[in-house]
Structures are given as C-alpha cells and as structure tokens.
Structure 1
Amino acid sequence: MSSETNENINKKKYNYLQIYEAAIRNANDIIILFSSQGNILEVNRKAVDTYGYTEEELLSKNIFELRNRERIELASMQFEKAKSGDVEFETMHFKSDGTSFPVEVKSIGIEVNNDRFVLSIIRDISNRMKNEAEIRGLASLVENTEDAIIGKTLEGIITSWNIGAEKIYGYKKEEVIGKHISIIIPDEKINDFYEIIKKIKNGERIRGFESKRRKKNGQLIDVSITVSPIYDLEGNLIGASNITRDITENKKVEKELRDKYEEISALYEELIAIEEELRSNYKELEKAKEEADKANKAKSEFLANISHEIRTPMNGIIGIIDLLKVTELNNNQKEYLDMLSNSSRLLLGILNTILDISKIESGKFELTLKPFNMKKTLDRITKELSIACSKKNLEVFYYIDPYINFDLIGDEIRLNQVLINIINNAIKFTEKGQIMFKVKKLHNTNNKLTLEFSVKDTGIGIKEEFKNDIFKKFVQQDMTYTKNMMERG
C-alpha cells in the first residue's frame, strides 16, 4: 500500500472522529464521561443546558454531586457496577439551583490503556413521569367510577371490568374476564350487541343507548350505554369500550312524574268541566236572583199594603183611648189607660217602620232622632212589663249610671222596641227570682254618648257555644223550654 493511500485512510478516520464527536456534543440526551473515581471528564451541550452549570463548573464536579444526596450508598453501588459492565436505572439528579428532576441512566464501562472509564447517557424523564402519573390517575378514575366501564373484543369477550361494573352487575372481575358479554344481556336484548358491534365496525360511536341488562341475581335493570371503538397503536380496530349507567331509579322517577302529569291533566280536565258547570249554574243563579228580586218586591208591596190596612184601625184605637182619657177614671184606670196608649203608639211606630221595609232591605235604614227623656222611657217600660212579672212573682228593677244625663236625642221608638224585647225574653225564661236591668255610660266624646244596656236574670241563661249565634235572624237557643211554657199555659 502506498503512502498516499495511508494518508487518505487517516483523513477518513479523522473525519469520522469529528462526526462522532459532533454527534455526541449535540445529542438530545445528556452524555457524560466519568473517571473510575466518578470525576466528570467530558460533558456535552445538553448536560450544560440541563444542569445549569457552565462546562468548566461541571468538569470540576463528581457524579455524586449530581445524584440524590440521600442515596449516596446506592449511587456508589450503581457506579461500581457500571465500571464492570452495562447498567440501567432511574434516579433523581439535581440542578445548580437545587431543584431535582427524574432521569433514566444507561451507563457502560470502558477500558482504554488499562484505565477504566464510565460513559453515561442520561435522559430527563419528567414529561414521561408526568404522563404516566396522569395515565395512572385516569386509570384510577376509570377503575373507581360509579359507572360500569367494560372492555370487550369485537367478538364480545370481556377484557376489562371496573369496580363500577362490579357494583352495578354484582359480578367480580375474575368471574367475567374472558366470558362473553351476553352474561349481562337478557335473551330478548341480545340483538343489541350485534347492532352495536355493527356500528362500531363502521367507525360509529353510540351515545346514550337505553336498554335492559341483567344483574348476577337475575334482576333486570334499566341502563344507559355509551360505546366507543378501541384501536391498537397501529390504528387497527380491536374492540369496544362500554360506559354503562344504571338509570333504574331515574326511570322510576320518570314514571312517577308521568303518572303525576296524567293525574294533573285529569284534574285539569275535571276543573274545566267544573268551570263549565259553574258558568251554567251562574246563569241559573242569575235567573233565580231575578225571580227572588221579583218575589222580594212583591213581598215589600204586600207588607206596605197590609201595614196601611192595619194603620187605619190602629189610629181608631188610639183615638178611642184619647177619648177615654177625658172621662172620669180612677187612678188605676188612668195608669192602665196610659200604658195602653203608649203601647198603641209604639205599635203604630212599628207599622210605620214596616212601611219603609224597602229602605231597610236596601241598607238605607235611617233612625229618627228626636229629644226624649230616657228615665221616663225606662219607667214606662218597667210599668208595662211589671204586670207580666207580677203574674210570675218576679221582681223587676233597673239601675241607671248617675253620671248619665237623662235628656237625650235619639230614636226612642227603636230603643223602646229593643229594650222591651230583651226584658220580655228575660221574663219568658225566668221562673222565679228577679230581673235586673242596668244602663252604664261607656264614654262621652264630641257630644256623643255611648251607653251599655244589660239585663241580668235568674233564669236558665244562654249556653256558651250559642252566644255567637243568638243575634242572627230567626235563631232561638232551644224550643223545648218554650214548648213547656206553652203546655203549662
């Protein structure tokens, strides 16, 4: 071989060495050459960028200054093993600012001229560790979710079964892995599987498919199923993943809501019918009201006519009484004649009220306010009723508050009528004892005097539960007592 040929070979070797050195210096992984004592001899650009030291600072350091300081013993053992052969491991390295990061280390021992060296290729695996942690988190989420997540082949063989599937279907993982999915599908729903697989093979994804499924104890449940295709790393379709949710309770609630809706709809229709009936009844009531108004008008006309007819003889009676007063009479006769005259005039006042019955019914009743002496009125009432009291041996007397002015302005006829009715009622229901009539002043403001009239007797009284009704029209507490009185009379 000529000297020229040898020179070309040396040049080629020199070029290869440059290429090799450039490749190492610019590699994406960290490459460090260590002495047998662990001192750093050479580093590439990635090492400088990753650890944050300058190249000179790195060349002054030992391998143990980059390793986990709490695991120096393990690091020494791994380095010794690397000097005599290949070794791979994962550990933590530290940057110049003290922060740590996970690395994957591949080290190999090299011997040159009886000296041993260690060449380490170091890769930052922070992203991989992060991805693995996320994958583990997702796997844990899938495993522990309440929904059933089931993996199966395109032939229906179950390949995965999470805790949610165990809770929903009652089967443990070891009971179903390797078995056909039909173990949880009722016979009448088995076509679901073939329809779903057909769509999966066409690249479709099924969402919210509702069907029936069977639990281990044979119970049928309502489920909502989402099915997605599963591909391998080369993109080949290899199976399907089922996410199943038990919607039995939801279906139950939906049914209850539907039943309630139907019930409400029925009530609504019934209310419409009632409304129509009420409209019809309203028309009938309007018609009945018109007829009642006509009848009421006829009644008022009748009362007016009859009271006119009665007034004529009453005026005659009053006239005769006035004539009798001018004849010779003893004291008792004069007293009785005065009582008869007052009663006749009172009756005439009542007849005049009946004449104005239409005003009473229309709420336009008016009192006749005239001056009168209340003491004289009460004396006259007491004398008129004393005869009835004497027949039953009853004492009747009244008490008037001394602070009351007897000369008043009011409707004497109405007051007379009310008091006679009240006292007469007391006489009627009192067999023995006395009747006490009181007049008490409540207050006097702006020349208006408010009086309280009360009657106390020793009769049968009024039951507590009847007091609220006693002043209603045509109401009487008990007819038994009245009937007994009539029978004795």
Structure 2
Amino acid sequence: MVCRAAAADRGGLVLATVRVREQTLRQTQQVLERTVAERTAELRQQKAHIESINADLVVARDAAEASRRAKAQFLANMSHEIRTPMNAVIGLTNLLQATPTTTEQREYLTAIESSSQNLLVIINDILDSSKMEAGKLSLERVPFRLPEAVRRLGAMFRFATETKGLTLTIDVAPNVPAAVLGDPVRLNQVLVNLVGNAIKFTRQGGVTVSVQAVPVPEADAQTEHPSLPTAELARIRFAVRDTGIGIAADKLGAIFEDFSQANTSTTREFGGTGLGLSIARNLVQLHGVSWP
C-alpha cells in the first residue's frame, strides 16, 4: 500500500509538473502571438504609410515632369514668334542708321542696336536650352570646310575686339582636314559662345583660338570606327585661351551649369544669362564627346 501511494504521489507530481509546463507554454505562446499580431499590425500601418507617401511622390513627380515638358514645349514652339520681331527691330535699326541722322539720334540708334543684340542673345540662349531639355535639338551631318568656318570667327568678332583694344588670333594647324562631316551651325555656336565669353571677360591682351588634329588611341578607334584604319582617323581639338580674369578652380564645374556664373558680381559687372557655357557643354555632349 505504501509503495502504491508513493507511486501515486510521484505520478501526481509529474502530472502537475506537466500541466504547469503546458500552462507556461500556452501563456508564452499567447504572448508571442500577441507580439506577432501587434508587430504585424505595425508593419501593415508602416507599409500603408510608405505606399501613401510613394503614391504622393509619384503624383508630384508626374506633375513636375508634365510641367517641365509643357514649359520646354512652349518655349520650343515660341522660337519663331519671339525671334521674328526681335530681328525686325534689329533690321529696322540698321536701316535707320543708314539714313541721315543727327549725332544724338545716332547715339540712340547705337544703344537700341546694342540692347537688341543683347536681348536676342538671351532669347536664343533660353530657347536653345529649352530645346535641349525637350530633346528636340538634333545635329546635322553635312560636309563643310572646317578651317574656313573657324577663320570666320575673326570677322565676326573684329568689332568687339577692336573696341576693347584686344587681339584675336585664329591658329589652324596644317594637319587639320580641309573638309569634314558634321554640323557647322552647332560647331559655330559652341565656338562663338567660348570666344564671346573670352572677349567679355578680357580687359587687355587677347584671345587665341587654336585647332589641331590629334591621333585617335587604338582602343578608341577600334570601338568607335572598327571598319576604318586607325591611321586614317583623327580627332579635332579646339582650344580657346584668353588673358582675362580667369576662373577660380572651385568654380570650374559650376560655370557649366544652367544659369550659373562664377560669382554674383559677374552678372552685375559683365551681364549674361549664365546659359552660354551650359549650351556649349550640351552641344559638345550631343556630339558624343565626353565632358570632363
């Protein structure tokens, strides 16, 4: 009887222990389930919040993109309408200057012509920048005489350099091809922007434009023109140097951004929109040339 009682007691103790453990496990499981449910609810709320933010960002991005396209499209379409009256003002001013006028009237006409030309440059810069932004600016590929195109810069800027007492030197190396395929209008636009800036920021001395043909590295030649012998390929390097005020090293990257100039006093003293060098950079990139 004693043994049976002892065995019954041990059996009851084991059963009680098992039940206590089962209850502890159930409580632990319940705690874990509540924790998982709470965390899951939090994650769902966070996910819903993030999705709401992403939806708002998508809407804002689409609205900004639509606004940008509309602005670029509008300015691109307005090119003819804006330039035509400006050219008319300049043309009529030139005609009026050819008629008998008094000294005072000639001064007024000169001021009108100068202001009109400055305004036309600003209009052209804004419209060209908008065309590039809208992806509507493309390059032609026609044959033209490169040395003659570069040397015409001398005639274009003769008045500007003589007025400031500067020299303008055009140096075309003998190894430059007489004729090339490309877009002479856009090449001229890049060079005019660079030379115009050089003259604008130079008070004494002069500006030098140099053009030379340089060999194409073997690796580049095989990648860009695999069907042509490397010996027949050459790259044309253009350089514009001046004796002007120079550019601070930490501003070299910024001046090629839209509407950027070296400092705030530059606009006040020299004028300009800050678009000329940006347009030159974009046109160079459009030719497939990497920009530093």
Task: Calculate the TM-score normalised by the size of structure 2.
Answer: 0.55
CA contact (8 A) 1:400 1:440 kept: yes
Deviation at 1:420, TM superposition (A): 0.8
Relative to structure 1, is the Cα distance of residues 376 and 283 closer, same or farther in structure 2, using a 3 angstrom cutoff? same
Matched, 1:469 2:241: no
| Rounded Cα–Cα distance in structure 2 between residues aligned with 1:371 and 1:475 | 34
Residue 264 of structure 2: aligned partner: 479
| Rounded Cα–Cα distance in structure 1 between residues aligned with 2:166 and 2:42 | 64
Residue 240 of structure 2: aligned partner: 455
Percent identity over the alignment is 34
| Rounded Cα–Cα distance in structure 2 between residues aligned with 1:392 and 1:272 | 71
| Rounded Cα–Cα distance in structure 2 between residues aligned with 1:270 and 1:461 | 59
Q: What is the aligned counterpart of 2:195 among 409, 417, 423? A: 423
| Rounded Cα–Cα distance in structure 1 between residues aligned with 2:173 and 2:185 | 22
Higher Rg of the two aligned structures: 1
| Rounded Cα–Cα distance in structure 1 between residues aligned with 2:249 and 2:86 | 41
Matched, 1:391 2:163: yes
Residue by residue over 1:91-128, the C-alpha shift from the partner in whole angstroms, topping out at 9 and shown as x without a partner, is xxxxxxxxxxxxxxxxxxxxxxxxxxxxxxxxxxxxxx
User: Pairwise mapping of residues 340-419 of structure 1 onto structure 2 (< 5 A)?
Assistant: 354=127, 360-361=132-133, 363=135, 365-419=137-191
Matched, 1:303 2:79: no
- Which amino acid counterpart does residue 473 of structure 1 have in structure 2? D
Deviation at 1:277, TM superposition (A): 4.5
- Which amino acid counterpart does residue 260 of structure 2 have in structure 1? V
CA contact (8 A) 1:303 1:355 kept: no
| Rounded Cα–Cα distance in structure 2 between residues aligned with 1:473 and 1:423 | 19
Deviation at 1:412, TM superposition (A): 0.8
- Which amino acid counterpart does residue 385 of structure 1 have in structure 2? F
CA contact (8 A) 2:261 2:267 kept: no
Residue aligned with 2:150, SS: helix
Residue 57 of structure 2: aligned partner: 285
| Rounded Cα–Cα distance in structure 1 between residues aligned with 2:203 and 2:43 | 58
Residue by residue over 1:387-444, the C-alpha shift from the partner in whole angstroms, topping out at 9 and shown as x without a partner, is 1122221111121221011311111111111111111111122111121211122235
| Rounded Cα–Cα distance in structure 1 between residues aligned with 2:248 and 2:42 | 44
List alignment gaps of at least 5 residues for structure 1. 1-201, 203-265, 324-339
Q: Which structure features the higher share of helix residues?
A: 2
| Rounded Cα–Cα distance in structure 1 between residues aligned with 2:270 and 2:78 | 31
Q: What is the total number of aligned residue pairs between the two structures? A: 207
Residue 274 of structure 2: aligned partner: none
User: Pairwise mapping of residues 59-208 of structure 1 onto structure 2 (< 5 A)?
Assistant: none
- Which amino acid counterpart does residue 415 of structure 1 have in structure 2? L
Relative to structure 1, is the Cα distance of residues 442 and 271 closer, same or farther in structure 2, using a 3 angstrom cutoff? farther
- Which amino acid counterpart does residue 55 of structure 2 have in structure 1? K
Relative to structure 1, is the Cα distance of residues 423 and 312 closer, same or farther in structure 2, using a 3 angstrom cutoff? closer
Residue aligned with 2:238, SS: strand
Residue aligned with 1:470, SS: helix
Residue 109 of structure 2: aligned partner: none
Relative to structure 1, is the Cα distance of residues 273 and 438 closer, same or farther in structure 2, using a 3 angstrom cutoff? farther
Deviation at 1:297, TM superposition (A): 3.6
Residue by residue over 1:16-65, the C-alpha shift from the partner in whole angstroms, topping out at 9 and shown as x without a partner, is xxxxxxxxxxxxxxxxxxxxxxxxxxxxxxxxxxxxxxxxxxxxxxxxxx
Runs of 4 or more, structure 1, over 3 Å off, are: 268-278, 310-320, 353-358, 360-365, 444-449
Residue 439 of structure 1: aligned partner: 211
- Which amino acid counterpart does residue 203 of structure 2 have in structure 1? E
Residue 197 of structure 1: aligned partner: none
Residue aligned with 1:452, SS: strand
| Rounded Cα–Cα distance in structure 2 between residues aligned with 1:436 and 1:275 | 62
Relative to structure 1, is the Cα distance of residues 402 and 287 closer, same or farther in structure 2, using a 3 angstrom cutoff? same
| Rounded Cα–Cα distance in structure 1 between residues aligned with 2:42 and 2:255 | 41
- Which amino acid counterpart does residue 299 of structure 1 have in structure 2? K
| Rounded Cα–Cα distance in structure 1 between residues aligned with 2:265 and 2:90 | 37
Deviation at 1:361, TM superposition (A): 3.6
| Rounded Cα–Cα distance in structure 2 between residues aligned with 1:310 and 1:443 | 44
Residue by residue over 1:181-239, the C-alpha shift from the partner in whole angstroms, topping out at 9 and shown as x without a partner, is xxxxxxxxxxxxxxxxxxxxx9xxxxxxxxxxxxxxxxxxxxxxxxxxxxxxxxxxxxx
